Structure 1
Amino acid sequence: MARFDLSDEEWAAIRPHLPKQGRGPQRKDDRTVLNGIFYVLRTGSPWRDLPERYGPRTTVYNRYVRWGERGIWQGIFDVLATECEDALIFIDSSIVKAHRAAAGSKGGSWRKVLDAHAAVAAARFTSP
């Protein structure tokens, strides 16, 4: 088990809240993909530098984005936050990184930062 991988206890808490397998091909192991997502989020490394043990980076990235669009992440966070008093402390302080403008650097108002984040989130990096 790698440093950023889910423990058995963490996996047991998250697994029941994941979406069920739909029609189509069998999807890659959810635990492996989640470990890959958490690796990128915790280390701040680019998706292209994802270690091979987590599977294809496109699979990991696509699962992260699609589950975000479908509200899966929000649902998981909401459930975990209600089940554990310390969950909000973990989510709020351990994995959130602030942009340097958030610290009040020159020209860094919150509105500009939020607008920049919204513009990046709306950008498409692949051809439709």
Structure 2
Amino acid sequence: MNSSNKVVKYHDGTGIYEADVELIIENSCILKFSLKNGDVYIAEGDDFFSCLEEIRSINKAIIYYCKGCKRNVFPSRMARQMAMGLSAYETTIGKQARIEDLVDIFDYEDKDLVSDPQDQYEWQQRWIATL
């Protein structure tokens, strides 16, 4: 088992707090968010981006302040496979994604955040249509 830890800020409607995040690699990727109120959300998947999507789906009232929750951030198939979904592209309508557009999904972000992963899928489809 291989693991690492991160801290991600979040807003739950009552204030902004820090969640302790554990990234675990076993036979699959496991993501564990420990919130200030004692709630613990755990997701398992093929990559960490899909785990983050699952965590977000548990409680859509929570906004997580990280790049992986930004509307225009989405991983390519290669980023999911080679970087275990820890990297994703921050895309711009009408512009091809480039290597310099790669971001760490757990880096801090506070603009254009969405709690529902479906919003990112819809953005990605709009973006692809403009290329």
| TM-score, normalised relative to structure 1 | 0.25
Which structure shows the higher strand fraction? 2
Which structure's CA Rg is the greater one? 1
| TM-score, normalised relative to structure 2 | 0.25
